[in-house]
Amino acid sequence: MRVFVDTNILISSILFPEGKTAAVFNHIIEHHELIIASFCIAEATMVFSRKFPDKSPLLEQFFLDLNFELFHTPESVSLTEYPQIRDPCDYPVLVSAILSDSDILLTGDKDFDGVEITKPLIFNPSQYFELITKNEQGK
């Protein structure tokens, strides 16, 4: 399965390696194909340089050690071709998840709640954690 992760998932996994989001992220790394957009890498880099400058080396090492498919976010898109989303700033993530042919978009951003789309399925970390917990219990 191809799983696209949003910037907030990356940041949370790095800063809170023992948290639920990191557990979900690690499950994806072990069991699925991880997709990260160039937009998300640039956004994470900007957030770390602004909010966590002393932890920027963690981010750099994180990407160096990680096995993932890099999807190059288009520089411009026609918003009328894609489902509506509350925050227009999130279109690069939504469009990248769609165009990368991802099966799942994992995000903690509530602006994705209610986006009407059949693929990718949109999960937050708690929903995904519940899904994998049920699957593991069913084995």
Q: Return d(Cα 102, Cα 93) in angstroms, integer.
A: 12
Whether 138 has a pLDDT exceeding 70, the answer reads no
| Average predicted confidence (pLDDT) for the chain | 92
The runs of H, that is alpha helices, within 52-117 are 56-65, 91-99
Q: What is the mean pLDDT of residues 108-113?
A: 91
Instruction: Report in angstroms the alpha-carbon separations of 78 from 18, 30, 36, 46, 74.
Output: 39, 35, 21, 25, 10
pLDDT at residue 139, rounded to an integer: 60
Q: What is the mean pLDDT of residues 14-38?
A: 95
Amino acid present at 125: P
Evaluate if pTM is beyond 0.75.
yes
* Residue-range domains of the chain with CATH: 2-137 (3.40.50.1010)
Q: How many residues are there in the chain?
A: 139
What does the pLDDT look like over 30-77, one tens digit per residue? 999 999 999 999 999 999 999 999 999 989 999 999 999 999 999 988
Instruction: Report in angstroms the alpha-carbon separations of 25 from 5, 11, 33, 75, 138.
Output: 8, 11, 11, 27, 21
Q: Which residue has the higher pLDDT, 137 or 6?
A: 6
